Structure 1
Amino acid sequence: MTEGIKGDISEEIIFSLISYSGDARSYLFEAFNYIKEDNHEEANRVMEEAEKSLMNAHNIQTTLIQQEAGGSPVKVNILMAHAQDHLMSTILARDLVKNMIDMQKEINELKIKIDRI
């Protein structure tokens, strides 16, 4: 999708970046909700979907960076800056949600122990 980009970045590429990032973020919080319900199987499945979407977004970003590094600069507009913001905040959300999932697993285990007392 991003091969041969010169000059302006197309809105299609920018919106793909935003879309993949948004999908990933939605999957991340869906996975956390599944863990709160102690549904590990669905949480893992949805986390895999989040990673796939993030990888797609990251691949677009990497292609653009490689093009720039290869001497073919691209013009960055406010929409592209917005897309990058989406991607970076989703990557941060992934890291935080992974930790939150680990904490929620511990909480779920403690609840079971308390119920046995």
Structure 2
Amino acid sequence: MKAAALILGLALSSVGSAQAALAYEVPDCGTWVRQDVTGHRWWLLGFISGLNSALRHEVKEDPLRGVKGDQVLLWMDNYCKANPLKNIHDGTYKLYEELRQRAGIK
């Protein structure tokens, strides 16, 4: 519960500054896989939560319902291993789209 509250707090506090975060210090997947990217892991969780909040007005279903932070991080680890020339911003949108499809959201 504390983790969910923390993620929600991060998401709500970073929604307004998401554009600035996108332009700077978003690691490529090679960096994600090879280095300690703890700070970027928090960025990823906040970004996907903020993305979900921003797009929730479009649909009634919540694509993140039941998805745990560790699952998001593991998904990104696997994505980056398979796509070392991409970055976590690209991966976050790909993951979110997969979760929307899984939830039956078009």
Same-fold call, TM > 0.5? no
Greater Cα radius of gyration, structure 1 or 2: 1
For the superposition of Structure 1 and Structure 2, which TM-score range results when normalised by the shorter chain? 0.3 to 0.5
Structure 2 length-normalised TM: 0.34
- Which of the two has greater helix per residue? 1
Structure 1 length-normalised TM: 0.31
